[in-house]
Amino acid sequence: MNKVKSYFPTGIITAAVTPMDKDLNADTNLLVTHCRNLLTQGSDGIVLLGTTGEANSFSVNERKGILEDALEGGLAPQLLMVGTGCCAITDTVALTRHALDLGVTNILMLPPFYYKPVTDEALFNYFSRVIETIADDRLHIYLYHFPKNTGIDLTIRLISKLLERYSDTIVGIKDSGGDWNHMQKLMHEFPSFRLFSGTEEYLLETLKAGGVGCISATANLTVANAAKVIYDFHNGKDADKSQRLLTAMRNVFSGYPFVGAVKGYLAIESKIPSWNYLRPPNEVLDEDVVSLFVKKVQHLKSKSFSRQA
* Backbone torsion region of residue 256, taken as left when φ is above 0, otherwise alpha when ψ lies between -120 and 50, otherwise beta: beta
Q: How far is CA 97 from the centre of its chain?
A: 20
| pLDDT for 154 beyond 70 | yes
Question: What share of the chain in percent tops pLDDT 90?
Answer: 95
- Residues carrying an active site annotation: 51, 114, 144, 174
The mean pLDDT of the chain is 95
For residues 257 and 285, what is the distance between their CA atoms, to the nearest angstrom? 8
Residue 6 binned pLDDT confidence (cut-offs 50, 70, 90): low
| pLDDT for 4 beyond 60 | no
Element (H, E) at 85: none
Residue 304 binned pLDDT confidence (cut-offs 50, 70, 90): low
Q: Summarize pLDDT for 17-34 with one digit per residue, the tens.
A: 999 999 999 999 999 999
Instruction: Please give the pLDDT value at position 309.
Output: 37
| pLDDT for 80 beyond 90 | yes
What integer is the mean pLDDT of 67-94? Answer: 98
| pLDDT for 306 beyond 50 | no
Please report, as a single letter, which amino acid is at residue 167: S
Instruction: Please give the pLDDT value at position 195.
Output: 98
Instruction: Please give the pLDDT value at position 307.
Output: 45
Please report, as a single letter, which amino acid is at residue 165: R
Q: Summarize pLDDT for 219-239 with one digit per residue, the tens.
A: 999 999 999 999 999 999 999
Query: Between 60-72 and 89-101, two packed helices, what is the crossing angle to 10 degrees?
Result: 10
Please report, as a single letter, which amino acid is at residue 104: V
What integer is the mean pLDDT of 111-135? Answer: 97
What integer is the mean pLDDT of 209-226? Answer: 96
| pLDDT for 51 beyond 60 | yes
Instruction: Please give the pLDDT value at position 303.
Output: 75
